Amino acid sequence: MTQTTAEPFGAPPPTAERRAAAAAHLRRAVEAAAARSAEATRGAAPPERPAVLGSGPAAVALAGALAAAGFAVTLHEPDPHDAARARDMLGRFLADEPGARWRVEGADDALARADMALVPEAGAERVVEQIAAVMQRLPEGATIAVALGGAGLARLAEALGEPPALVGLTLQPPAHATRLAEVATHPATAQEARASAYALAGALGRITLETRGAPLAESLLLSLHDMADRLLIEGAEPWTLDAAMTGFGYATGPLEAQDLAGLPALAAARAQRADGPPELPIRPRMLAEGRLGKAAGVGWYRYPGGGGAVIDPLIEDLIHEEAHFAGVAEVHSGAGDLREALLLAQIAEAVHLLGSGAAGDAAALDLASVHGAGFPEARGGVLRYAAEVGAARLGQALDRLQGRLLPDRAATLRRALSSGTADPARGKVVFRADEPRVMRH
């Protein structure tokens, strides 16, 4: 995998001074988030007997994270076969935690003892019926925390009759390895449920943000994956895309990250969002063929013996076939062009989230991008990075790549870049919740 070392957008290389400033920016953002979390918690204690619903990878990882943090956790799975599989996975997950308290049960009385039910796979089929049944079995005062926000949470709340105990709590997967939590509410969410969600996230040591729309990190990741889909069907190779982003500072490229999280999780997240481009045919075919990610042994890569990623030539054939069937002409793009397209998609999404009011401020989006979406910490977050690149360079990239972005995202970004550019050569993008603008620094 060849990596390009040139800075994207023609920007100068980051200096030690800029890296130090980026680190200080993130420290201040973490401190501000901690202060908001303390106020939201209002002295509430975390749950003592949490129950995780489901047996998929996200449920097992969340149950494992809770058990490792000292909670007495129950993973609730009524299907005996799925429960046995989850028990085996959770046992291996917690092999180095001999004191962990956990169990896998399918009986309803397990829910009767829980003071919080967590649903990390809230995009699954029949989730409304499942949660409605769970609500009948939980004790009074128990919280129901689902990994949803925005339109997805609103639809679920409406279907369930606007229960006050329902709150959005997304512990960015994989739950045992990330630092981000996002809380969301619907109009009828009780203050006690919101405070309980904050308290649990705090007990897990999470940086907790509140979103007024879809989960911020998930939205940024979907913008990255949507652009990767577009570049793939135009002829890019998965490993070339991954190398472009690891060369920028990502710990893992976007396609290998999909394999690690599991492609079904991405499909579920796409199904929950209110907008987005049409699904391109590559991933649906992969799912149909059992290319589910590392857990299945094959996804964008192969994983012999459960080990590291190995390039799979067969995925190239699949991509070329689907591009041919869709009538998409191949576009020859260098690694630098691919990297710029992937970064610009996230910058445009971040500006959209800020302008829509989903995020309280730009610093929250920087935290979401770093601690939930893998953006390099040394860059200070997606919007901090955009500010360093500057309005003039981003505008030039938008001129080249606008056709690859969602029209509303491209338009919002262009408005942000064009406001107040009195000195384009020194333009720095400064994003505020009320008015994205460009200022001189």
pLDDT digits (tens, 9 = 90+) for 206-240: 999 999 988 999 999 999 999 999 999 999 999 99
CATH T-level topology, domain 42-210 = Rossmann fold (3.40.50)
Helices (H), 42-149: 57-68, 80-93, 109-112, 127-137
Helix, strand, coil percentages for the chain (3-state, nearest 5): 55, 10, 35
Phi, psi of 191 (to 5 degrees): -60, -35
Fold match flag (8-30+334-440 vs 216-326): yes
As given in the structure block, the two tokens for residue 379 are 């860059």
What pLDDT does 421 receive?
Answer: 34
Which residues neighbour 267 within 8 Å (Cβ) at sequence distance 6 or greater? 283, 284, 287
Is the pLDDT at 331 greater than 60, yes or no?
Answer: yes
Domain 216-326 class?
A: mainly alpha
Summarize pLDDT for 151-165 with one digit per residue, the tens.
Answer: 889 999 999 999 999
Over residues 105-120, the mean pLDDT reads 91
Q: Model confidence at 5, in pLDDT bands (50, 70, 90)?
A: low
The domain ranges of the chain are: 8-30+334-440, 42-210, 216-326
Strand, helix or coil for residue 45: coil
What pLDDT does 439 receive?
Answer: 40
Q: Which amino acid is at 159?
A: A
More confident residue, 124 or 342: 342
As given in the structure block, the two tokens for residue 298 are 């094959």
As given in the structure block, the two tokens for residue 348 are 């445009």
The answer to whether the Cα torsion of 225, 230, 231, 235 is positive or negative is positive
Instruction: Determine if the pTM surpasses 0.85.
Output: yes
Which residues neighbour 177 within 8 Å (Cβ) at sequence distance 6 or greater? none
Q: Are 142 and 171 in contact (CB under 8 A)?
A: no
Inter-axis angle of helices 382-389 and 335-356, nearest 10 = 110
Nearest to 153, CA basis, from 172, 136, 128: 128
Q: Are 11 and 370 in contact (CB under 8 A)?
A: no
As given in the structure block, the two tokens for residue 287 are 């799912």
As given in the structure block, the two tokens for residue 333 are 């793009």
Quote the DSSP letter at residue 155.
H
CATH T-level topology, domain 8-30+334-440 = N-(1-d-carboxylethyl)-l-norvaline Dehydrogenase; domain 2 (1.10.1040)
Q: How far apart are CA 332 and CA 210, in angstroms?
A: 41
